[in-house]
Amino acid sequence: MKKLLILAISLIMLVSLTACGSSSDDSASAEEPVVIHFASTVSTTHDWYISAQTFKDTVEKESNGSIEVVIDFGGVLGSDKEIVEGVAAGTVDMSIDSTVGIDAVVTELGFVNLPYLMTSYDEVDELFYDGWIGEKATELAEAKGIKVLGWTDCDFRWMTNSVRPIESVDDLAGMKLRVPESPMYLAFFKALGCTPTPIAFTDLPSALQQGVVDGQDNGPVLTYTANLYQFQKYMTKSNHSFAAAGVLFNPAKWDSMSAEQQTIVQDAADKYVTDVKTAVRASVISIEADMTEEGVTIIETTPELDASMRAAAEKVWQDEEVTQYYDQDAVAKILKDAGLN
């Protein structure tokens, strides 16, 4: 009986140890979630960020926790250019960037930012989101090793300044305007009689506050959410350039995910670009009212100013020093459609 009891105890201990070993093995073999770092330079009050929270929740829920999304907005992963470079190199998984930031890395794509190329949302929807401009932009970005999940709104660029209302081209004479670090913007505002000054966006608030420049030309959403309007008395609704926004992804990171995970992320990105577009266009209306209430004078573009800016824009379209690095087929189409070649 004693031998039988010892044998029974031994068997129980063996089963217990086996079970413990199996549990340990299962734990060790459990897959860690795929972590996607989603980057941008905009603040947490921007529609891109607000909609990104829904993107994160959707992806994590639909993937049953197999994907974790970390939102790195506010420029914590660098400037627009650095973030786009990071997506291409694999140091950043995912981002949303305006085409101005993307242009700094994919220079061939810069034609999409040409002034007066699109001046209404109807033209944006027709030519960019549903047309040849968006198709070409995607092709060029992916040729540089950047996967495009979709395109959405930044907003139209308007002009703000602290000096005087801008109602004609004469009002721009000698005005120091901050512009993106791009030869195209320099050429356009020089043609309007300004003194364009390239300054990185991260340095813009202090440049406006200290009077280094008189004004700048970001859209109303970014101007408001980045508090740039606090240093500016006047805003002119010029719609002189439209900056779309690309939702970008690193190809190697994309390929590391399962087909099911890719579908979940792409579906959520499709919803994200729609959510952003809807939110940004609504924000333009509400933000205009908010800035007016806070003392900013909003000025409608006069026919005279519109004609002068369009003429300056067409000069830029034909300036080969500006367009030489852009996709030449796209430039040729723009000139042909405008009857300029």
pLDDT digits (tens, 9 = 90+) for 292-310: 999 999 999 999 999 999 9
Contact in structure between 181 and 201 (CB atoms under 8 Å)? no
Contact in structure between 118 and 124 (CB atoms under 8 Å)? yes
CATH class label, 33-337 = alpha beta
Among the ranges given (19-23, 80-84, 126-130, 276-280), the one the predictor scored with the smallest mean pLDDT:
19-23
Residue with tokens 């933000």: 287
Per-residue confidence at 30, pLDDT binned at 50, 70, 90?
low
The Cα–Cα gap between 113 and 322 comes to 12
pLDDT at 7 over 70: no
- Tell how strand 234-249 and strand 147-161 pair up: antiparallel
DSSP 189-206: HHHTT-EEEE--GGGHHH
pLDDT at 57 over 70: yes
Q: What is the pLDDT of residue 71?
A: 98
User: Can you tell me whether residue 78 is helix, strand or coil?
Assistant: coil
**Considering the entire predicted model, what is its pTM?**
0.84
At 172, phi and psi to the nearest 5?
A: -90, -10
Q: What is the pLDDT of residue 243?
A: 86
Sorted by where each begins, the domain ranges of the chain are 33-337
pLDDT at 20 over 70: no
Tell me the torsion sign for CA atoms 214, 302, 313, 281: positive
pLDDT (mean) for 20-48: 74
Residue type, 182: S
Which own/partner pairs from 98-104 qualify as long-range (CB within 8 Å, at least 24 positions apart)? Answer: 98/154, 98/243, 98/244, 98/245, 98/246, 99/137, 99/154, 99/243, 99/244, 99/245, 99/246, 100/154, 100/180, 100/182, 100/243, 101/41, 102/141, 102/146, 102/246, 102/248, 103/182, 104/80, 104/181, 104/182
pLDDT digits (tens, 9 = 90+) for 113-144: 999 999 999 999 999 999 999 999 999 999 99
pLDDT digits (tens, 9 = 90+) for 76-118: 999 899 999 999 999 999 999 999 899 999 999 999 999 999 9
pLDDT at 28 over 50: no
Contact in structure between 217 and 159 (CB atoms under 8 Å)? yes
pLDDT digits (tens, 9 = 90+) for 172-210: 999 999 998 888 999 999 999 999 999 988 899 999 999
pLDDT at 24 over 50: no
